[in-house]
Structure 1
C-alpha cells in the first residue's frame, strides 16, 4: 500500500526501515522524520505522517513482542500513552486551517 504519495513510499518500505532502526537500537525513539531520513527522503506535505506514526507504533509493538523483552506490562501502556497524545495533539487542529478555509 502506498503511504506517501509525494515520495512514492510504500508501507512495506516504511516497515523494513523501522525494523532496521530497531535492530540497531531496540529502545530508541523513532519518529517519522527519522524514518524519512533513513529512506533518504523528506516530508513534503506531511499528510502521511499520522499513518507513519501508526505504522511505527504497530511495528514497534510487534518487534518487542517477538523479542520477548520487557513484557506486555511495559510495552503496551507506553504505546497507549503515545496514541493518547496523538489524539490529544494530533489531527484535531486540521493543520491550523479555519473552518471556512478554501483552496481557491
Structure 2
C-alpha cells in the first residue's frame, strides 16, 4: 500500500526501514523524520506522517513482542505513546478532517 504519495513510499518500505533501525538499536526513538532520512527522502506535505507514526508504533510493538525484552515495559510505554497521540492527535494540529487523509 502506498503511504506517501509525494515520495512514492510504500508501507513495506517503511516497515523494513523501521525494522532496520530497531536492529541497530532496539530502544532507539523512531520518528517519521528518522525513517525518511534513512530512506534518503524528505517530508513534503507531511500529510502521511500520522500514518507513519501508526506504522512505527505497530512495527515496534511487534518487534519487541518477538524479542526477549520485558513485555510489560514495552506495552506500558506504547500505551503512553498512544494516549499522547489521542490527547494531542493530528486532527487539530494538521487542520485537516479525517476524510482528507489518503489512507
Q: Cα distance, 1:70 vs. partner?
A: 1.5
Count of matched residue positions in the alignment of Structure 1 and Structure 2: 96
In the TM superposition, 1:70-85 aligns within 5 A as: 70-71=70-71, 73-85=72-84
Q: Which 4+ stretches in 1 moved above 4 angstroms? A: none
Partner of 1:11: 11
**RMSD, matched Cα:** 1.2
Larger RCO, structures 1/2 (Cα 8 Å, 6+ apart)? 2
- TM-score (structure 2 length as normaliser): 0.88
Q: Name stretches of at least 5 consecutive residues in structure 2 with no aligned partner.
A: 97-103
Q: Distance in 1 between matches of 2:77 and 2:20?
A: 21
In the TM superposition, 1:11-90 aligns within 5 A as: 11-71=11-71, 73-90=72-89
Q: Cα distance, 1:22 vs. partner?
A: 0.3
